[in-house]
Amino acid sequence: MDEIKIIEIIKKTLKFSNKNVVKGIDDDCAVIKIDENFYLVATTDMMVKKTHIPSILTPYEIGRRILTANISDIASMGAKPLAFLLSISLSKEEANELFIKELYSGLDEFSKLYNCPVVGGDTNKGDELILSGTALGITDNPIYRRGEVGDDICVTNDLGRVYCALHLYYKLKYKKISYKEFEKLCQKYPKIFEKLKRPVARVKEGLLMNKLINGCCDISDGLGKEITYFKNFEIHTDKIFKLIPEDVVEFCEAFDLNPIKVALNSGEEFELLFTTSKFNKVKNTLKNYSKVHKIGKIIEEGQFIDGEEFHGGGYIHKW
């Protein structure tokens, strides 16, 4: 059993809908029609301490991260964030004033960044920290996970730093390196750990690109998984390599990692993966905000990387 199978079971079981629901399960956000001109987009994202929250993150960083994970879905729909709700389950360890203040201070900082107020949620007692966020947004033109034949497939900025940061974190966690060694490596690769600790959702980019792109999703589970939502495509490793920043290339050489695999499997990057027939217009529109890179094209049939069948990647929950 994995999360893809679970989602298929849920989709087959849920039969009721109504005319207001334009898109339900199967995209970054649900899309609900408000009137002839506007759509409400809604998403939820959960973080569980054991599987999602590295112990090196402070409560402040956790607060920023849970908001970013949810707002990134809103950004991928080309929508404007409206409001955020957070439900939390606290264990005895976290049920103290200092932790709660720090967590919500981080949340508050990024709610200002995204102009998205925190308006409610729920609290509960549990065996470990669980954060479940819900974000709402609005748009006149929701952007789905799709592409038209001939579209360029593009990515904002760069990929790979989060994978590298977690690679070192797990070396520390399983005592393959000492904490002193870990600290030295954090100082050597500051941008790698900055991307883990302070990821930013591409809200401005999503809004600016809205009328220039045909499809979009955010890179939360890794490029290797997200690209498969576009169904038929060919991507190229030489173009993916251009997404990889110099510090990640250097890191991969030092730790004997394949940089292309790192880029394909680096999750929680929160960059935008999109399709467009107007690449130059997108590039010019985003020039003051983000770089954009072509990595391939939408084709009529099949999924390929360098002419060979693509077998996916990224992160999938399995039981």
Binding-site annotation: residue ranges = 28, 43-45, 52, 73, 104, 121-122, 145, 218, 220-221, 268, 315
Distances (CA, A) of 84 to 21, 67, 108, 133: 20, 8, 11, 7
- Residue bearing tokens 């130059």: 280
Sign of the dihedral defined by the CA atoms of residues 300, 306, 307, 309, in that order = negative
Are the C-beta atoms of 273 and 155 separated by less than 8 Å? yes
- Give me the helices (H) in the chain, please: 3-13, 49-52, 59-76, 97-113, 161-173, 179-188, 190-197, 203-209, 223-226, 237-241, 246-254, 259-265, 279-285
Numbered residues of the known binding site for ATP: 104, 121-122, 145, 220
Structure token pair of residue 204: 């401005």
Phi and psi dihedrals of 177, rounded to 5? -140, 155
Numbered residues of the known binding site for Mg(2+): 28, 43-45, 73, 122, 218, 221
Interatomic CA distance for residues 255 and 158, integer angstroms = 20
Q: Residue 164: which region, alpha, beta or left (left: phi > 0; alpha: psi -120 to 50)? A: alpha
C-beta neighbour count of 250 within 10 angstroms: 15
What residues are paired with 127 via a beta bridge?
Answer: none
The pairing of strands 233-235 and 292-298 is antiparallel
Numbered residues of the known binding site for substrate: 52, 268, 315
